[in-house]
Amino acid sequence: MWARAEADPIKIFEASDDAAGLDLASATKNVKASVKQSLDFAKNSVPPPRELAKELEFPDKPDTDYNSRAPPANAEAITKATVDPAKLEECNKYIGELQALAKAGTISIADAVNLAVLEEMVRDPTTTIHAEDLQAGSSYNIPKLTQQTFGKLRAADEIIDEGHFIGKALGEGMNGYRPIVELMNTNFGIYGMAEISSAGNTYATTGGQFEMPMFIVGAGGTAPNQALGAEHSQPFHAYVMGIPGLKIGTAASPDAAYGISKSMIRDNGPCFLFLPVKMMKETKGFADVGKCMPINKCARGQLRQPCVSEWRDALSPFAGVDPRAELDASARVRKCT
């Protein structure tokens, strides 16, 4: 109690010289009247309809066709005006090399996501990216060539503080940008749980006034046989599956990683893609260049969408399934429909 009394800023101010001559009693009375007015308004307001909660869960419906989503007006002109022509040419050349690998069936999961990121950043000048060791390509080259092409404002090489740069991305998303957050290993997102939760809740808590585009991607969480030791092997999907408004997916093939990444970048709400850490570079295959993939169904065919409990079992590091067989090219939204 003594600590609270000694640290009360109002009491301290009232006892200071700055408060001398001020009519604090009248000010206090006015503030209390304003607070009471606000409380009375809240108590007398009609409760919102129950169905509003469902309407405000996602800005985009789970079955959205992202291939039909156009870039911002004058996007190409803005990109040409804000990106050095020589660097843009170099980036487009590298994109062409990755596209050739995708068409030949020899692109890795990591390079497929890098291709999706570069294509979307060239296509849409509001797209940004945040990652640790970004300039060097991070752990799996997902943000490779982004800062070299688009500069430090759109491609930020971040300090080791996930809460810090996920928070920066959250602010960007609320202000008309499409941030990408690359986490290296998804478990590092534990240090940004509050920010991830805020991203998921923003659309609903603002009554739909703020969309919250954000694409979070990283390796880990799709084991078995994907462990890298205790610090890197927590099933982080289990941490975030209870966050309302957050779309969560997983991909274990280059095609799925590429197509789902493009869709999640274009989504107007927060999305989280888990990738298999030990398959990032060794698993290679085709990718359907230029195509966004649905994020509400398994990409292996017309399979029913699983419930959260089934999905958790499939993703668990202790599940007795082969990730290549069970999770190949799949992505699902957070809930059953």
151: pLDDT strictly greater than 60: yes
pLDDT (0 to 100) of residue 225: 65
> In the predicted model, what is the mean pLDDT of residues 332-336?
37
When pLDDT is averaged across residues 54-70 and rounded to a whole number, the result is 90
| Percent helix / strand / coil, the chain, rounded to 5 | 50, 10, 40
pLDDT at 229: 67
Q: What is the pLDDT of residues 245-289, one digit of tens each?
A: 999 988 889 999 999 999 999 999 999 998 888 888 889 999 999
Model confidence at 320, in pLDDT bands (50, 70, 90)?
very low
Q: In whole numbers, what is the pLDDT of the chain averaged over residues?
A: 83
Q: Which residues make beta-bridge pairs with 298?
A: 330
Phi-psi region of 301 (alpha: psi -120 to 50; beta: other; left: phi over 0): left
Angle at the Cα of 218 (from 215 to 223), degrees rounded to 5? 130
Other Cβ atoms within 10 Å of 32 Cβ, number: 10
**How would you write 230-290 as a 3-class SS string?**
HHHCCCHHHHHCCCCCCEEEECCCHHHHHHHHHHHHHCCCEEEEEECHHHCCCCEECCCCC
Confidence of residue 227 (pLDDT cuts 50, 70, 90): low
Nearest Cα to 104, choosing from 114, 94, 96, 113?
96
Dihedral sign from CA coordinates of 165, 137, 260, 335: negative
Q: What is the pLDDT of residues 2-47, one digit of tens each?
A: 666 677 888 888 888 888 888 988 999 999 999 999 999 999 999 8
Residue 22 DSSP one-character state: -
Name which residue leads in pLDDT, 159 or 215. 215
User: Residue 136: pLDDT above 50?
Assistant: yes
**Amino acid 4: pLDDT:** 65
- pLDDT at residue 224, as a whole number: 58
Mean pLDDT is lowest, of 117-121, 256-260, 277-281, 326-330, for 326-330
For residue 140, give the DSSP letter.
T
Residue 326 has pLDDT above 80, yes or no: no
Q: Is the pLDDT of residue 112 over 50?
A: yes
Amino acid at 288: D
Determine which of 90-99, 138-147, 291-300, 303-312 has the lowest per-residue pLDDT on average: 303-312
Poorest-confidence range of 96-110, 281-295, 306-320? 306-320
pTM exceeds 0.85 = no
- Going by their DSSP bridges, the two strands 107-108 and 284-285 should be labelled as antiparallel
Checking if the pLDDT of 233 tops 50, the result is: yes
The span from the first CA to the last CA of the chain, in angstroms, equals 51
